[in-house]
Structure 1
Amino acid sequence: MSKKEKPDSSIGGAFKETSELQMSEWEVVKRLWHFMKPYWSLFAISLVLLPIITGLTLVQPWLLQLAIDNHFVPKDLNGFGLVVGGYAAAMFSVAALQFLQTWIMQLAGQRALRDLRQALFEHVQHLSTKFFQSQPVGRLMARMTTDIESLQEALASGMITMIGDVMMLVGIVVILLIKDWQFALASFVVVPFLVGLTAVFRHFMRKAFREIRVKVARLYSYLQESVTGISVIQLFVREKRGLEEYQRINEEYRNANFMAIRYDAMLYSVVETVGSITVGVIIWYGSGQVLQDAISLGVLVAFIEYMQKFFVPIRDLAQKYNFLQSAITAGERIFELLDQTDKIPQSESTRDVPEHIDSIEFKNVSFAYKTDEWVLRDVSFKVGRGEKVALVGHTGAGKSTIITLLTRLRDVTEGAILINGIDIREFDVQEYRHKFAVVLQDCFLFQGSVLENITLGDEIPMDEVERATQAVHAWKLIQAYPEKFQQSVQERGANLSAGERQLISFARALVHKPEVLILDEATANVDTQTESLLQSAVENMLERQTSVVVAHRLSTIQKADTILVLHRGELIERGSHAELLASDGHYAKLHRLQYRPSAPAKAS
C-alpha cells in the first residue's frame, strides 16, 4: 500500500482482488476447448453452415447486378422473374440457415457452459477449509456466476460467428478484385487503418474488462457480508454508513463499465464513420466511371452493396471483439479458480477404511496454521472403541484444532493420527469422513424441510429417523410443528431457535450411524432449560459409540471416561473427572472457577 493510499475501512475492505492475471488469450481458448470438445459435432455442423450462409449472402449483390445490367438498363424483362426468384430464395435461405446455425451454436455453447459450471462447483467443493477462510464468499460467487455468464456470449455465438465474419470479408475481397481490381484496391485503402485501430483498442479494452471483473467481485463480496451481518449493521446503526460504502463501491463498478462502454462506442463509431465515408467515395468515384462507360451501373451498385456488406462484419467483429475480451478476462478468473490446488492431499494408493474403528491415536502431533506459530505441540493420546473422551481448556488451547485434524479438514504438521494403527493420510478422504458425525456449536441447517436436514438427502428409512429424533428428544419438538417432518426450514435455520437447531443437528448426527461421534461445544450458547434438554440428548448419544467431546461447560463431561486438559497447545493433564479433581491441577482450577457462586466461568 502506498503512503498516500488510505486503508479501506468498509465491510470486507481488507480483501483486495488483483486485476493482473497472466494468462494469454490462446491459453484461455485452449482450456475452453476442453469443455467444447464433447460437443464438437454440433460446433462442426455450425461451422459447415457458415460458408453456405456466406455464399448465399454474397450471391445477392451479384443477382442485383444481373437485374440492373441485363433487365433494367436494356428494359428486357425476359428472365427477370428467375433473377427475382433467386434473390428471394437466397434471402429466405440465409434467414433460415442463420436461425439453424444460431440454435445449434447456442445448444452446444449452453451444454459446454453447463459442464464448466459443474466442473467449477465440483472443484470448489473439494478445496480445503484453509482456502475458504482466505476467500470472501462474494468473490467466489462472482467467479461462479457473472464470470461464467460473461463467457456465454463468446462461447455460445461470438467465437464461431467471428469465423463467419472473416469468411464474409475474404469472399467480398475476392469478388471485388475479380470484378475490378483497381476499384477494389482503392476501396480497401482504409482496411490497414482499421486493423491497426483494433490492435490499439485491444490493449485498452482488455484492461477495462479486467477492471470490471475486479469491481463486480468487490460488489458481490460487500453485498454478501452486508446481508449476512445485517443484524450487526442494524444494532450498531450503520445503515447510513453502509449505504455510503455501497454507493462508493457501486460507483466504482459503474465507472469501470463506463470505461469499457467508451472504448466500445469509440471503436464502433470509427468503423461506422469509415464505412460511410468509403461508400460515399465509391459512389463519387464509381459514378464517374459509369459516365465514362468504364464500368456498368450494375457493377457500381454491386460494389456499393458489397462494400456495405464488407463493413457489416467489420462492425460485428468490433462488437464481438468486445464480447471476446470480456470473455477472455472472465475465463482467466474462472481458470485461476480451477487451478487452485489447496486441497487435502490424497494418497495415490489409498487403503480401505476399517469397517469398525477400534482405536484412535494421536502420536506426537504438532500443528501450525502459519510457520512457527504452533497451535498444538507434541500431543499424544489414544481413544479406545466405545470410549468417551473430553477435551477441555481455555480459548485457543487447541481443542477445536484437534477435531479439525481428526476429521482431516487439515493435515498435521508433524506426527501422525492413527486409526487402528494406520495413518489416516493413507485413506480416501471422503470414505474416511463417512465414519464420523460432527455436531458444532454453530450448527448449520440448509433451506428445505426438517427431514431433509436430518437425512441430508440420503435414503434413510423413516423408522430410523424417528428413533434418532426420539433418542435426542427432538421427536416432541418436531411433532409440534404444523407440517411435522416436512416443516419448512429457512436459510441457516433462521426460523428456529438455537436449541431447536441443535436438536435437529443431534438427530442428523445419530441417524447416519457414525463410528465416532464428535461434539464441538454443542451445548454452548443456550439457556439453562434448553441446556438440560440438550445434555440429556448428549448423554443418550454418547452411550452409543466412541465419542470425542469438546467441553464448554464442565458439567457436560463429568461422566467421560477420560478428560484431556489442553493449555497453550500442549496436553498437560489427563484422567477421569474425579482423578483430575483429586490431583488439584489445571482442571481443578477450571472447575473451581466455573462453579464459583459469585462469578460463573467457562472452560474456554
Structure 2
Amino acid sequence: MKNTPWQRFKKIVAAAEPSYALFALAMLFLVITETFPFLYPLLLKNILDALNQGINLKSYAIIYAIILIVHTLLLYGKTFFGVIISANATYTLRKKLIHHINSISLLDVRKYSTGNWISRLSADMDVLGVMFRDGILELVSNALLLTFSIAFMFWQEPRLAIFTMIFFPAMMLITVYFRRRLKHQQIKYRQRLSSLTGFIQELLPAIPLMQVFGKQAFLTEKFASEQKSYQKAGINWSKSFAAFFPLIQSFSDLSLIACYAGGLWWISQGSISVGSLVAFVWVASIYTRPLRDLSNRINQVQTSLVAGDRVLVALETGKVEYRGRNKLDPQPHSPAVRFHGVSFAYQASQPVLDSVSFSVPANSFCALAGRSGQGKSTILHLLSRLYAPQTGEIEIFGQNIAEIEAAELKSCSAYISQDPFLFAGSVKENILLGAEFCPELFDQALERARISEMLDKLPQGIDTQIGAQGIEVSRGQRQLIACARAFYRNPQILLLDEPVASVDSQTEHLLQAAVAELLENRTALVVSHRVSTLTKADIVVFLDSQKRVFTASHAELAQNNAEYAQMFAKS
C-alpha cells in the first residue's frame, strides 16, 4: 500500500527531528501575523463610511502606523523562525545520512552511484531546506489566509461571498489534477538530475585519459546525451507547471471580476455601502492571493516530497553492520585471526569466497596469495568489516568480530591499500585522521615511516596541503603517509594490500624498510604476488582457481601444490 502525501510528509518531518517547541512558536507568530491583513480593510471601511461625518484622520493614521509596525515585526519573527527550523532540519538529515552511509556494508553503499549519493546529500537536502523554511510555513499561512478571508467575507456580505467563490470548486479540481501530474514528472526530473550528477562525478577524473586517447568528442557526446535527458525531464515538468499557474491565475481574476460585478450591482440597489465594497474587495484580493500562490506551494511541496522520499529511501538502504557491544578481550592461546566457513559474494550468482577457513597465530606474518579475482583483498575487507560475510564467522583473538564494538574493532587494526585514500588537508591531518595529537608519538611515526626526506621537499612540511585525494603528492608519497598513519595507530593487526606495487625503485626501498619495521611484533596479513614477500611469510594462505584454500609455508606449497608452483615458476 502506497503512503499518502500526508504520511510521507510526517515521515520526513520525523526523520528531521525538528524542535517542536520552536515550530509551535513559529506557528503562533504565523497565526497572529495572518490576522493583521484583515485589520487594514476594516480600518478603511470605517474611514470611508465616516467621511461625511467629519473624522479625525490623524488618529486613524496613527492606528494604521502601529498596525503596520507590529505586522512587520511579526513577519520578521515568522521568517526568522522558518530559517532556524530549516537549518536545524537539514543539518540533522545530512548528519543522519552520513552516519548511515558510514554504518552500512559497502555492498549497500554501492547500490547507488557516487553522484546519486551526492545528489541526495546536496540537491535533495537543499530542496527539503526550502520546504522547512518556506513550504510548510507558507502552506499554513496560505491556509490561514484562505480560511480567515472566507470567514470575513461571509461575515461582512454573505451574498457577495457566494458570488466571489463561484469558481472555487473549479480551482480545487485543477489543483488536484496537476498535483498528481507534477508528482510523476518531478520524480523523473530528480532521477535525471541524480544521473547527471553521477556522470559529472565520473567525467572529471576521466578527462586526462580521454585527452591521451583523443576521445574528447566521445566524452562530449556522452555528456550531451545525459544533459539532453535531464533537459527533456525539466521541460516536461515546466510545461505542466506553466499550464497550471495561468489557469489558477485566470480563475482568481474571474473571482475578482465576479466580486466587482456583484458589488457594483448591490451598490446601485442601495444594499451595501461603498466602504463595505472597498473593504470586501480588499479581502477578496487576500482570498485570491493564497489561491494563486497555491500553485507555487503545491509545486514546492511536491518537489520536497520527492526529494524527501529519495532521502528516506537512502536512510532505509541496507542494514547497519555494527551491532556489537563488547569490548575487545583477547583470549589466551587463541589465534590472532580465524576464518571459519566464511562465504561471500558481491553478486549472489558469483561467489568470491566459498567456505573459507584458516587461522593466523598472533605475531605472525601471513601472506595471501592467488590469482587476481580469487578473493585476497576481499579477505582484508571482511576482516576490516567493510563487508559482512554471508555465512561463517571471523574471529580476532578468539572473539567474533560481529560482536565487538565498532570503534574497538577499528582501533586494533590498520589497513594500507595499493592506493591509499588521502583527504584534502595537510600531511599531519591525514596521518592523524582525527586522533589526538601526541608530538612524541607523531615524530616517532614519521621517523619509522621513512617520511622525513619527503617532508623536507614539501614547502610547509607536515602542514603542506596535499589537495583532494592527495593529488599534490605522488603515489609513493601517499604510501609513505599511509605507513606513518599505521605507525601512529600502533595496531595489533596489520592489513596490507600490495603496498609496494606501482612505485618507483627509490620509494619502494623506503617502503620495504618501513613495512618491514611495521611487521615487527604484529600480526600481519599481506596480499602479495611477489615471491620475495611469500618466502618471508610465516604462513601462506593460497586461494586457488577452484576456490579452495591451502595453508602452508611457501616452500611446502611450491613443492606440493601444482597451481602454486606454476605461479611461483612464472614469478
The TM-score, its normalising length taken from structure 2, stands at 0.94
Q: How many residues align?
A: 569
State how far apart, in whole Å, the 1-side matches of 2:153 and 2:543 are: 86
Deviates more, 1:562-571 or 1:132-141: 562-571
Give the match for residue 178 of structure 1: 155
Task: Mark the CA change 1:366 to 1:255 in structure 2 (over 3 Å): closer, same or farther.
Answer: closer
| Corresponding residue of 1:297 | 274
Query: Cα distance, 1:335 vs. partner?
Result: 0.3
| Correspondence for 1:394 among 341, 366, 371 | 371
Q: Check the 8 A contact 1:376/1:568 in 2, yes or no.
A: no
Q: Residue type matched to 1:219 in 2?
A: L
Match of 2:517 in 1: 540
Q: Is the deviation greater in 115-124 or in 127-136?
A: 127-136
**3-state SS of paired residue (2:502):** coil
Match of 2:536 in 1: 559
RMSD: 2.1
SS at match of 2:252: helix
Matching of residues 49-448 of structure 1 within 5 Å: 49-71=29-51, 74=52, 76-344=53-321, 346-347=323-324, 350-354=325-329, 359-371=336-348, 373-448=350-425
- Kindly provide the CA deviation profile for residues 332-352 of structure 1, in whole angstroms up to 9, marking residues without a partner as x: 1010001113442624xx332
2 CA distance for matches of 1:371 and 1:280? 67
The alpha-carbon deviation at position 66 of structure 1 amounts to: 1.1
Q: Structure 1 residue 358: deviation in Å? A: 5.2
Note the alpha carbon deviations across 1:400-437, whole angstroms, 9 max, x for none.
12212222222333332222333222222332122110
By how many angstroms is 1:572 displaced?
5.0
Unaligned runs of 5+ in 2: none
Residue of structure 2 equivalent to 1:9: none
SS at match of 2:422: coil
97-106 or 413-422: bigger deviation: 413-422
**Separation (CA, whole Å) in 2 of partners of 1:332 and 1:102:** 26
CA distance in 2, matches of 1:23, 1:166: 23
Quick one: distance in 1 between partners of 2:167 and 2:536? 89
Question: Secondary structure, in 3 states, of the residue corresponding to 1:66?
Answer: helix
Task: Provide the rounded CA distance (Å) in 2 between the counterparts of 1:159 and 1:246.
Answer: 36
Counterpart check, 1:504 vs 2:484: no
Contact 1:376 1:569 in 2 (8 A): no
% identical equivalent positions: 28
Match of 1:14 in 2: none
The answer to whether the 8 Å contact 1:565/1:572 transfers is yes
Moved over 6 A (4+): none
Task: Go from structure 1 to structure 2 and tell me whether the alpha carbon gap of 1:91 and 1:259 turns closer, same or farther (over 3 Å shift).
Answer: farther
CA distance in 2, matches of 1:494, 1:77: 82
On the 8 A contact 1:375/1:569 being kept in 2, the answer is no
For 1:133 and 1:283, locate their aligned partners in 2 and report how far apart those are by CA, in whole Å.
Answer: 62
Is the 2:335–2:359 Cα contact (8 Å) retained in structure 1?
Answer: no
CA distance in 2, matches of 1:439, 1:580: 26
Distance 2:436 2:343 in 1: 39
1:261 alignment partner AA: S
Matches within 5 A, 1:585-604: 585-594=562-571
Q: Deviations over 1:97-128 (max 9, x none)?
A: 11111111211221122111111111111121
Does the 8 Å contact 1:42/1:105 carry over to 2? no
Query: Secondary structure in 2 aligned to 1:565?
Result: strand
> Does residue 517 of structure 1 match 2:494?
yes
- SS where residue 489 of structure 1 aligns? coil
Contact 1:35/1:113 (CA < 8 Å) preserved in 2?
no
Amino acid at match of 2:27: L
DSSP 3-state at the match of 2:535: coil
Task: Give structure 1 stretches of 5+ with no counterpart.
Answer: 1-20, 595-604
Q: What's the offset of the Cα at 1:222?
A: 0.6
Give the Cα–Cα distance (whole angstroms) in 2 for the partners of residues 583 and 244 of structure 1: 55
Question: What amino acid is the match of 2:488?
Answer: V
Q: 1:397 to 1:456 in 2, by over 3 A?
A: same
Q: Is the 8 A contact 2:18 2:88 kept in 1?
A: no
